[in-house]
């Protein structure tokens, strides 16, 4: 069975929509804004790649969004882009499942609810903020908004949230539970995260080896949403290619068998603990690229890499990689300028905390799908 990518919707610090993402890849520029917050030591400033959902007004009446926070809005807009791209915005959705991955969940509502609890000295938190603070607020509202009654799943596995969501999407398609899956991820910035990241990585960065310190200097907090429409595809051609493989595991507790003859997109965003290991586990001479500067450090980052891989398949071009200090470029064979996508296959690899790994391979050719 072949799984094709029928549509993609993206939203992040680079802008809203695939065209903006593509522009950011072709013409790299400084996109981070600065977020300020008070602390007892004075004002803290945190660079951040933040998403703007104002385009949602083109699709949804304002009244329908009055209770929807940023987390839900990002999910909706990105999903609507993906459905539109797949030609399924109004019709054509048949037996569709929804899977939403998130690393942090609805952090703004989570902390707003706590704030209302603390503020009111306990008993009177806001019911809307509580209901919208649960991780599945995004997926639930998506099914409500789209009037989709199929299976609906939310998963949260830190940096591995996206591989686990795709693994499940492929299972559903293989089992015939659904004909289409709207799968993707969302994570939002909040001030508590800004404070944490400032302390962890910028202001009071931990001491480590040179690579780690270099990595920390480029790390920028990100937020956004990225969704895909996947279908089983026996006939026809997908401009974005096909999902060949999804794998998850832990390279400290078991083997990691990476695919050969592929280009690697590395999700080295400067924050994960194991970024030095990319150089150790990538096959020798393999071509690698990293685009984390476009979307920032965010648990659902691998979704953006998958979108960039699909765009590369569509344009048959691998864009020049960001010179990423988080990975040792002497050890890795970086793509420095735009190249033709030769092998037709891209592996999006993420290494996470404690040796966790997840990867997904996009192939321009139809292939039988694997997952484990």
Closest distance of CB 186 from other proteins, Å: 12
Nearest to other proteins of 196, 323 (CB atom): 196
Q: CA-CA distance, 55 to 71, in Å (whole number)? A: 15
Q: CA-CA distance, 188 to 224, in Å (whole number)? A: 6
Q: Are 8 and 239 in contact (CB under 8 A)?
A: no
Nearest to other proteins of 78, 133 (CB atom): 133
Nearest to other proteins of 114, 333 (CB atom): 114
Closest distance of CB 156 from other proteins, Å: 5
Q: CA-CA distance, 236 to 259, in Å (whole number)? A: 26
Structure token pair of residue 128:
């809307």
Strands (E) located in 152-252: 152-155, 180-187, 221-222, 224-232, 242-250
Nearest to other proteins of 104, 264 (CB atom): 104
Closest distance of CB 251 from other proteins, Å: 8
Nearest to other proteins of 58, 372 (CB atom): 372
Closest distance of CB 187 from other proteins, Å: 11
Nearest to other proteins of 179, 233 (CB atom): 179
Closest distance of CB 23 from other proteins, Å: 32
Q: CA-CA distance, 147 to 201, in Å (whole number)? A: 42
Beta strands 221-222 and 42-49: pairing type?
A: parallel
Closest distance of CB 255 from other proteins, Å: 8
The DSSP line for 309-330 is HHHHHHHTEEPPPP--TTS-TT
Q: Are 65 and 145 in contact (CB under 8 A)?
A: no
């Amino acid at each position: 069975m072949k799984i094709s990518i029928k549509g993609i919707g993206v939203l992040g610090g680079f802008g809203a929509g695939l065209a903006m993402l593509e522009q950011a890849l072709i013409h790299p520029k400084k996109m981070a804004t600065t977020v300020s917050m008070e602390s007892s030591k004075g004002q803290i400033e945190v660079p951040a790649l933040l998403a703007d959902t104002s385009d949602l007004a083109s699709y949804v009446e304002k009244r329908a969004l009055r209770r929807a926070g940023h987390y839900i809005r990002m999910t909706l807009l990105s999903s609507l882009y993906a459905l539109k791209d797949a030609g399924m915005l109004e019709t054509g959705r048949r037996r569709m499942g929804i899977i939403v991955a998130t690393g942090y969940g609805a952090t703004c509502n989570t902390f707003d609810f706590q704030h209302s609890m603390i503020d009111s000295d306990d008993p009177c938190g806001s019911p809307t903020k509580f209901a919208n603070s649960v991780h599945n607020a995004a997926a639930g509202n998506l099914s409500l908004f789209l009037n989709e009654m199929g299976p609906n799943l939310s998963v949260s596995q830190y940096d591995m949230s996206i591989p686990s969501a795709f693994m499940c999407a492929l299972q559903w398609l293989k089992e015939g539970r659904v004909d289409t899956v709207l799968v993707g991820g969302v994570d939002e910035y909040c001030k508590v995260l800004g404070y944490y990241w400032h302390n962890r990585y910028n202001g009071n960065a931990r001491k480590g080896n040179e690579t780690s310190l270099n990595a920390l200097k480029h790390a920028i907090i990100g937020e956004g949403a990225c969704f895909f429409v996947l279908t089983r595809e026996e006939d026809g051609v997908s401009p974005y290619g096909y999902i060949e493989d999804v794998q998850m595991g832990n390279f400290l507790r078991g083997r990691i068998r990476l695919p050969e003859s592929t280009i690697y997109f590395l999700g080295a965003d400067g924050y994960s603990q194991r970024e030095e290991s990319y150089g150790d586990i990538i096959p020798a001479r393999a071509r690698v690229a990293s685009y984390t500067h476009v979307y920032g450090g965010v648990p659902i980052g691998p979704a953006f890499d998958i979108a960039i891989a699909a765009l590369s398949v569509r344009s048959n071009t691998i864009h020049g990689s960001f010179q990423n200090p988080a990975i040792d470029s002497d050890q890795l064979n970086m793509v420095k300028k735009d190249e033709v996508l030769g092998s037709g296959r891209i592996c999006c690899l993420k290494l996470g905390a404690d040796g966790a790994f997840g990867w997904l391979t996009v192939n321009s050719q139809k292939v039988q799908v694997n997952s484990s």
